[in-house]
Chains A and B, each alone.
Chain A
Amino acid sequence: MTTAIQIGQLLQSSIRGFSFGCAVPKPEMPHFGAFVKVPILNGTAQAIGTIYDIVLEEDDLVRQIVATPETPAEIILDQRQRQMPIEVSVLTLGYMQGTTVKSGLPPQPPLTLDTIRLCESTEIAALTNDFNFLRLIMQASEAPTDELLVRVLEHAVSVQSNPSQYLRFAGQYLAQLIGNDFQRLDTILRRLESLL
């Protein structure tokens, strides 16, 4: 039985990614670039992805409150305690069967209302030991790829024993992917350098 922190439930999914909802407030509210997992194949495997967008939908009540001059603090607190879903978008980067982690897209998407959990360090390390996940991020047209890439690597490097070497290899892999767009590559690499 998994002890990983549960952070939401699936709203919609595809092979390439999925979105889930969670409520506010939640101390474990997911972060941009965090690694999450969701069961697939009837629970025999887990799809792993990274959060690339978090959206709080507006509603009429919020519009009315915003229109109120000098909103009282207790009204803001009430608003935060409402069961108002936050929609979180995830880009699938790999999947895990047993103890084997494979990068790439899973054979099937997860099903709605399945539980989303944060990945554990060992799972992040297993997925990110293969830089193929960087390629999937760079190809994701729906995501802010350059920012996401830096944030994902920040998470990935935090579970590595030799962060500087890991980042250097990641940089080299990126250079192979987007070496023809030197300006973009240079910008990303300078961001990565700041992680050291």
Chain B
Amino acid sequence: MSDELDDFLPRDADNNPIGLETTQEEEAARVRLGVVVGGSLSKGLTVKLDSGLNAGQTIENMAVGRYVVAKGLTERKFFSIVTDIILDNTNPAIEQTPPPVSSPFLSDVYRATVAYGRANVSPMLVLDPNDKEPRPNKTIPAHFSPVFEATEEDVNQVFGEEDDDHFHIGSPLDMEGVKVNLDLNRFVERSSGVFGKSGTGKSFITRTLLAAVIAKQKASCLIFDMHSDYGWEITNERGKTWKGLTQILGNNRPHIYTLDKKTSLARNNKIAGELQIQYSDIEPADVEMLSSMLNLSDVQTGALYYLHRKLGEQWVAKLLDENGSPEIEEIIEEGMLVKGTLSAIQRKFELFRRMDFLVPKSSNNVVGEIFEKLQRGTSIVLEFGKHGDNLPAYMLVANYLTRRVHGRYVQAKNDAVGSKAEQPKPLMIVIEEAHKFLDPEIAKHTIFGTIARELRKYNVTLLVVDQRPSGIDDEVMSQIGTRVTALLDNEADIRAVFSGVSGASALREVLARLDTQQQALILGHAVPMPVVIRTRDYDEELYRAVGFLNDTEVEEKTKAAYDDLW
């Protein structure tokens, strides 16, 4: 006797079950999940899950974020993502009188018929047999189109092959071995974001993305490395270590600069230089970004520009001078500033004394050096060492450096347009705690807001890493082209991640149900459709994919190069 109810159904002349004519060879190899019974393009499709011997299993084996393919009547395949799973019934009376637990017979019968599973799926792309590339979805499959689990072939068709422009970033859920490849050119083309609550692996995802961008030479990266997560070796609380970008990227390795030489050397980091900032190099605009953190009032913030104009480039040194300065006395006497305002500013500037990378005088020109390296395609990691937990220090330096590097890029770009000179190498600036830089209050006035809004006009984009995307200005968020999001459970943060993304609201359930580790939702410019992935392991295989060679291999390579030479 057969194992399937279908075999007991009436049959047509060819002995196929009537109403279930989906037994072509291609489909026979697929796992059928159900049929489309309703829906719309804007709200997604409703799929009635198949009953049969394992009706309950079909429901429990579904998962939001999983890929399915609806096979339309016109041979088109609608590549879709599961956004919700629902228990439904044909007769509400069963909710009032459910079968007794002691009766598996009744449960089995009802579970396959009166009570059934339903899935909401969001069609994303159309795979047309006549097209090589998947196309954006503009229609939906007809009623009763069968829905199958997506195969490896389907996923590969959507996400393309791994090559110099596409980097393997992870695998779809439950499809280990299938590669989801990120389009790196599109990733660096616009500003991008990595979001997720604390402890969800943002740093690992970011490190993987940066390794790919740098290894494939898609952009130079300027990484403001708050907690020394990117440049050199990282150790977790259980003592496990992972290599940093400088250790794995071979000839493309980024150069590490530090604000805290002592700590960096103690970690055995190979540093390229120490960043020191002269007081005289600090401009009011560098400090203005810290106004909320320093609790500077509007009057006090405005006074900074006056003081800079009046005191000259040594304005910070003079304000910090404990012996006082005649010019300051003069300002008070002239009545241009109230003494209380000036004293408040001086008191708040005391913070700078604890930032030992701020020095009265420095002989190095690290800004110029960094710009030159970025222009040559060398990425830079700026480690903060002991200043990593000092948010004002992080913001001051990131703002200081970015303003100047961006200024030079604007100049270089304008020069290139005028004289047909070489375009500046694309630059991606990586900032953590991004909501502090891109807060709605200040985003319109800061360099980071400017960069995010101007897209790639001057070949400079941002990679923002943050756990509170709701704190980022809406206008800036709408300009974030690619969003890589690990688990978020705050409603406002989830809403923020989907701002400016059409049709993605159905994915909110998906995002809220990601695992706490190694799972992320990627949507936007660099992927053809939103995709939930198990992120690629940051391990030896990845090291090798981005050019890592061990000592023996380096020796062999050197010897081979030497032999070739002679």
Interface residues of A (CB under 8 A from B): 103, 129-132, 160-162, 164-169, 171-176, 179-180, 182-183, 185-186, 189-190, 192-193, 196
| Closest B residue by C-beta to A196 | B105
- Let me know if B113 and A172 touch, CB within 8 A: yes
Chain A nearest CB, measured from B5 CB (Å): 5
Chain A nearest CB, measured from B447 CB (Å): 65
From B1, B90, B103, residue with most partner A Cβ within 10 Å: B1
Which of B3, B10, B114 has a CB less than 8 Å from the CB of A175? B114
Q: Mark B1-21, 1 if CB is under 8 A from A, else 0.
A: 101010011110000000000
Given contacts A182-B93, A182-B94, A175 and B109 within 8 Å (CB-CB): yes
- Let me know if B1 and A176 touch, CB within 8 A: no
Interface residues of B (CB under 8 A from A): 1, 3, 5, 8-11, 51, 90-91, 93-94, 97, 103, 105-106, 108-110, 112-114
Given contacts A172-B109, A179-B91, A193-B106, A186 and B97 within 8 Å (CB-CB): yes
- Let me know if B105 and A189 touch, CB within 8 A: yes
| Closest B residue by C-beta to A169 | B5
> Given the complex of chains A and B, what is the CA–CA distance between A160 and B8 in angstroms?
13
List the A side residues contacting B91 at CB < 8 Å.
179-180, 182
Which of B3, B10, B112 has a CB less than 8 Å from the CB of A172? B112
Chain B nearest CB, measured from A37 CB (Å): 21
- Let me know if B8 and A167 touch, CB within 8 A: no
- Let me know if B105 and A131 touch, CB within 8 A: no
List the A side residues contacting B110 at CB < 8 Å.
175
List the B side residues contacting A183 at CB < 8 Å.
93
> Given the complex of chains A and B, what is the CA–CA distance between A2 and B112 in angstroms?
41
List the B side residues contacting A171 at CB < 8 Å.
105-106, 108-109
> Given the complex of chains A and B, what is the CA–CA distance between A55 and B96 in angstroms?
41
- Let me know if A182 and B10 touch, CB within 8 A: no
| Closest B residue by C-beta to A170 | B8
Which of B8, B10, B93 has a CB less than 8 Å from the CB of A169? B8
> Given the complex of chains A and B, what is the CA–CA distance between A175 and B51 in angstroms?
12
Instruction: Give 25 CB contacts A-B under 8 Å.
Output: A130-B8, A130-B10, A130-B11, A164-B105, A166-B1, A167-B105, A168-B105, A169-B8, A171-B108, A172-B51, A172-B109, A172-B112, A173-B8, A175-B109, A175-B110, A175-B113, A175-B114, A176-B113, A179-B114, A180-B90, A182-B91, A185-B114, A186-B106, A193-B103, A196-B105
List the B side residues contacting A193 at CB < 8 Å.
103, 105-106
- Let me know if A131 and B109 touch, CB within 8 A: no
Given contacts A193-B103, A193-B106, A179 and B90 within 8 Å (CB-CB): yes
| Closest B residue by C-beta to A166 | B1
List the A side residues contacting B106 at CB < 8 Å.
171, 186, 189-190, 193
> Given the complex of chains A and B, what is the CA–CA distance between A132 and B5 in angstroms?
12
> Given the complex of chains A and B, what is the CA–CA distance between A169 and B97 in angstroms?
21
Chain A nearest CB, measured from B451 CB (Å): 60
List the B side residues contacting A161 at CB < 8 Å.
1
